[in-house]
Chains A and B, each alone.
Chain A
Amino acid sequence: MGMASVNTASEGMQLCIFDLRRGQQEGQELDKILFFFPADLPFATQLSVIGLSEGLITFTRIFSPDAACEVIEAERHSHVFFEAESDIWMVMVVEKSKESKAACQVDALRKVLKEVHSLFVLFHGTMRSMLEKETSGGLIRSHLYPFITDYLSDFLIGKKLQLPSFHDCLMERGTVQMLTVGREAAIEVQSLVKVLECSAGTTSCYSLVLFQDLLVSTTLSPDDTISLFTYAVLRWFRGNDGFLASDIWGADNGSQTSVTPIVYLQLTEERMYLCAYQYKRLTIILLVPVSSILNGEQGLSLVKQQVLENVCVLSVPASLKMLRVEEKLSKGWGGENAYHVSGYRYLLVDDERVSRASPPAKVMTLAKDSLLAMSKLREEVNLEKRAKCSTSEVNSDKELEICVRAKNGAWVIARTSRGKELYMVLEKASETLLYASDAVEKFSNRYCSGVFSLD
């Protein structure tokens, strides 16, 4: 992607990563910087951004030793902080547009930082371990630069970076979206997963099954699932062997090599080969431990062969599993607007990991004022959630119900209950609070197994 154009047109945003354990001696400050976007900004400016960030981190620790600076809100800019790894900070400085002034999506921006970090870790392991491997910092810089600029290019619309804003208040970054499957299809999927994970012989593998851009099945940990799902939805292209390949970590060299990507699992830091295969709308991802494959690529190609034979090859009648599952899921799938509920614009978040929402095209029909009000409401709910976390019982689920009738007459509603969150905009509801509450109740009973129902 043409990141050169981003560099020149990126007045609106700066992103830096720095390591507080480096460059503490005078004259060596540049050593702190692991990444800076745009890279063509003068060093003095880069250092000034990092200097302010570092100063505020130190300052806020006086009062809040456990949670240092998270955001600096200034008239014209928001500085969003994320301590990705111990002493390694990511700071994004975003210029406020006129319309986002009312409600800056700080939480959404922090999730962007979190996401780019977890993706980096997925493919490269932690930044700290890379820094320990190669202390000059050259290695990590050479990895971060192509990785993050590539990631950022997804936000590029024309020549402008379109970062999360109030328009995105009815979606939740860092969650997976699931396909609802019928009982019969579920059994088919189950069987497919079994066969898939046996492809590498006795080795224990993990798998992920996606339909379209929805998750169908996973045997990975939740965090790894989110990272892989995020990445899978972002991009793939078809490699030479029919398996999917990716260029996210290989820079723009265009070499569609048959080198299989290796990913790091978060909890175990285990390294896994990532093999992805697509049949129509169905994608299967198989993770095979690197340690279990003796001859590298050669050994892996045998596993791939096995996968194909087990589940994919159409000529082998016994292994039409993938085809069958795809057919079954397609039949049950309601299409792009499958999860649209007429009259409602909603976001449902389960346990902060799984979300379901109105289709973006439907959300776009909402008035700007409704979106701004929802954006603001989400900010308030986030504050309440955090306050709850910090003050009292661990993992106590905040029970909260907020119904706001905005200036434009729309009802903007938030409900949290038993770890689930529901956000809803009702523009055509009638005037009364009772009617709006009733609408939530109906939705809850129908789509959330009554979690948000009061009675």
Chain B
Amino acid sequence: MSSSDSSSSSASDDPNPKLKPQPLESQFQSSLTLEDSDGVARTDDASVAEQQQEQQDEGSGNGSVDGVVNVEDNGHRDSSDREEGIGSGEARDGDGGSGGGGGVVWRRANSEVELEVEAPASPSSSGYAGGRGSSGASSASRADDASEEDEIEVVGNDDGGAVGAPDSQAEWTPGKRHVDEDDASISWRKRKKHFFILSNSGKPIYSRYGDEHKLAGFSATLQAIISFVENGGDRVKYVKAGMHQVVFLVKGPIYLVCISCTEEPFESLVAQLELVYGQMILILTKSLNRCFEKNPKFDMTPLLGGTDVVFSALIHSFSWNPAAFLHAYACLPLPYATRQAAGAILQDVADSGVLFALLMCKHRVGTSLKVISLVGAQKASLHPDDMLLLGNFIMSSESFRQVTSESFSPICLPRYNPMAFLHAYVHYFDADTYLILLTTRSDAFYHLKDCRIRIETVLLKSNVLSEVQRSTLDGGMRVEDLSVDLQQHTGSTSRVEDKPHTETPERIRESSLVGLGGPAGLWHFLYRSVYLDQYVSSEFSSPINTHRQQKRLYRAYQKLYVSMHSKGIGPHKTQFRRDENYVLLCWVTPDFELYAAFDPLADKALAIKTCNKVCQWVKDVENEIFLLGASPFSW
């Protein structure tokens, strides 16, 4: 998969080089095609050309069963729309034409790679955005400033505060970087967090940084370590050296390794490897094991061709998305009735043979998903990890994101059934809101399309979509809005201006003594409802307003989570932790878990009181911030 990436710098004049997908039947064949905006296939090296040829040979005519349907609504496309929409010699299935006013392209969405950013969030970001994937240390260092994703160890890096760092992860650019590096490069060795996937014969499958092909020797070393320990009748879990940790995860014929000096606990890193593996299963299903049974030297790289962007987006999310360690999902705050209306129509379609129906929206910052409503067919339940992986897959793939287009793609939900493909119908109602309908039937495209039309009509009629937009703009709970006088909270997440005036003077004055944020120096909180598998997180506010500070807090929460849930002896009941950065308070009960961050000088007694108030506040507004009683979540 890296061969295409390495060509990205040379293709930088091309605004949108894309890897074209392939039909599923040929997914176990290699298939990589680069195509420019004219729809003309272009190749940057011989191997890609060969693969493309292969794909063309095999692609035609057999894509109709499992391929992705991408129905473009031509009316909504403008000339600046860089999305291709036209297959490179892949089957243009005649049936597809009747789909929706535009051409239907049967495709594998997972075979695409994004090499271009969407419009940069700010002019300042363009400096590195264009240079993504390019070679040379200079681009690396610029990217490091921009996003710690690429960070190279620097002494005191984490203590440096926000100097020069952008304040939002919106500027994170998807896709793989530093492809010119390999294990001989100093810069590669100094990357703070590596992820590798390899086969049990030592063949590289994925590396977060550097060119997989050049890392064959390194990959063989990792394999040797694992099998050496295995031969001794044991299984290696991790190796520690200084601040570095090498974490291993063996999944049948697939080996996953993380090398990190981020101070994240082993438990967090291994959970992240599990998710990386899950992402791979989501794309390919576990039946890939059979390929290794048949041929131990099986080369998997082509299967994942172009999915670098999916993995890198997932790995990026490990640094800021609490869903990754809480194993819970977040909902968009909405009036209860609005969510009910959305749920009702989803339930309607679920009864008509849809396995899962999810209405989701993208968080303002980053690509985090928030659930508007979600419904499962009888007894079917969706694991939060599957939702995370599915959301990541869809949001990191450019083709899905085309507003008003429809996609139909095979995906596997690893927690639901790791062996089987489901089929996902994806449609964006607007830039942020999208619908996923999952079915077991590969021929259900037109049925799902009809379902979508029904849903869309109801959503428009009942103003759900406009409520969603309003909520996205308003944001969620803010610590500043936590008042002393809880009586005043009458079940609303709304902000100060909506509240009775009487409460404002009642706010705890202590907050002014210990800095900004909410009462008693409360800076932020996370609340996880155990039964609902959902969490709510307060909006970041001062002083946690830079990306670096947010990431540091995220890491602190993650550490706290692991500490509370330590294997064999956990879960603990309460934890109070004070260091130079924060006071952290955690409270785990059978019903909920609360993680709260305060000013490091916060008063202990007031902090405890404040936590109680946060819990009360959450309970008061749970109708709006959680999806209640949608379907039985019982796993």
Cα(A18)–Cα(B60), bound, Å: 63
| Partner among A372, A384, A433 whose Cβ is within 8 Å of the Cβ of B576 | A433
| Partner among B156, B229, B234, B574 whose Cβ is within 8 Å of the Cβ of A433 | B574
Cα(A327)–Cα(B238), bound, Å: 54
Going nearest first, the 4 A-B pairs with the smallest beta carbon separation are: A67-B242, A102-B568, A60-B241, A405-B574
A400 beta carbon closer than 8 Å to chain B: yes
User: Interface on B for A, CB 8 Å cutoff?
Assistant: 155-159, 183, 189, 221, 224-225, 228-229, 232-244, 246, 259, 261, 263, 265-266, 563, 566-580, 604-605, 608
Binary contact readout A157-195 vs B (1 if CB under 8 angstroms, 0 otherwise): 000000000000000000000000000000000000000
Contacting pair A72 B573 (CB below 8 A)? no
Total A-B residue contacts, Cβ distance less than 8 Å: 148
Known: A67-B243, A402-B575, A433-B576. 17 other contacts (CB 8 A): A52-B229, A60-B241, A60-B242, A66-B242, A70-B240, A74-B236, A76-B235, A102-B568, A103-B569, A387-B243, A391-B155, A392-B159, A399-B578, A401-B577, A403-B574, A405-B572, A434-B608
Chain B residues with CB under 8 A of A48: 232
Chain A residues with CB under 8 A of B246: 59-60, 63
Closest residue of chain A to B584 (Cβ to Cβ) is A402
Cα(A187)–Cα(B79), bound, Å: 94
- Which residue of B183, B239, B246 has the most chain A CB atoms within 10 A of its CB atom? B239
Closest residue of chain A to B247 (Cβ to Cβ) is A73
Contacting pair B569 A376 (CB below 8 A)? yes
Q: How large is the interface on A (under 10, 10 to 19, 20 to 34, 35 or more residues)?
A: 35 or more
Closest residue of chain B to A375 (Cβ to Cβ) is B569
Contacting pair A59 B221 (CB below 8 A)? yes
- Which residue of A51, A60, A101 has the most chain B CB atoms within 10 A of its CB atom? A60
| Partner among B159, B229, B261, B569 whose Cβ is within 8 Å of the Cβ of A74 | B229
Binary contact readout A396-419 vs B (1 if CB under 8 angstroms, 0 otherwise): 001111111111010000000000
Closest residue of chain A to B266 (Cβ to Cβ) is A73
Binary contact readout A63-99 vs B (1 if CB under 8 angstroms, 0 otherwise): 1101111111111110000000000000000000000
Contacting pair B236 A407 (CB below 8 A)? no
Contacting pair B239 A72 (CB below 8 A)? yes
Cα(A55)–Cα(B246), bound, Å: 14
Question: Given A392-B155, A405-B575, A76–B234 Cβ distance below 8 Å?
Answer: yes
Closest residue of chain A to B184 (Cβ to Cβ) is A62
Cα(A162)–Cα(B567), bound, Å: 23
Closest residue of chain B to A438 (Cβ to Cβ) is B604
Q: Which of A320-371 contact B (CB under 8 A)?
A: 369
Chain A residues with CB under 8 A of B232: 48, 52
Chain A residues with CB under 8 A of B235: 74-76
| Partner among A390, A391, A434 whose Cβ is within 8 Å of the Cβ of B605 | A434
A56 beta carbon closer than 8 Å to chain B: yes
Contacting pair B576 A63 (CB below 8 A)? no
Chain A min CB distance to B249 (Å): 12
Contacting pair B241 A64 (CB below 8 A)? yes
Chain B min CB distance to A38 (Å): 16
A-B contacts, 10 listed (Cβ < 8 Å): A59-B239, A59-B246, A64-B243, A66-B242, A69-B239, A73-B238, A73-B240, A373-B569, A409-B573, A437-B576
Contacting pair A406 B572 (CB below 8 A)? yes
Chain A min CB distance to B580 (Å): 6
Chain B min CB distance to A435 (Å): 11
Chain B residues with CB under 8 A of A70: 240-242
| Partner among B241, B266, B570, B571 whose Cβ is within 8 Å of the Cβ of A68 | B241
Cα(A372)–Cα(B233), bound, Å: 27
Contacting pair B567 A55 (CB below 8 A)? no
Closest residue of chain B to A48 (Cβ to Cβ) is B232
A386 beta carbon closer than 8 Å to chain B: yes
| Partner among B221, B228, B237, B579 whose Cβ is within 8 Å of the Cβ of A400 | B579
Contacting pair A373 B156 (CB below 8 A)? no
A11 beta carbon closer than 8 Å to chain B: no
Cα(A406)–Cα(B573), bound, Å: 6
Contacting pair A63 B228 (CB below 8 A)? no
Cα(A398)–Cα(B578), bound, Å: 11
A1 beta carbon closer than 8 Å to chain B: no
A383 beta carbon closer than 8 Å to chain B: yes
Contacting pair B158 A401 (CB below 8 A)? no
Chain A min CB distance to B491 (Å): 29
Contacting pair A69 B263 (CB below 8 A)? no
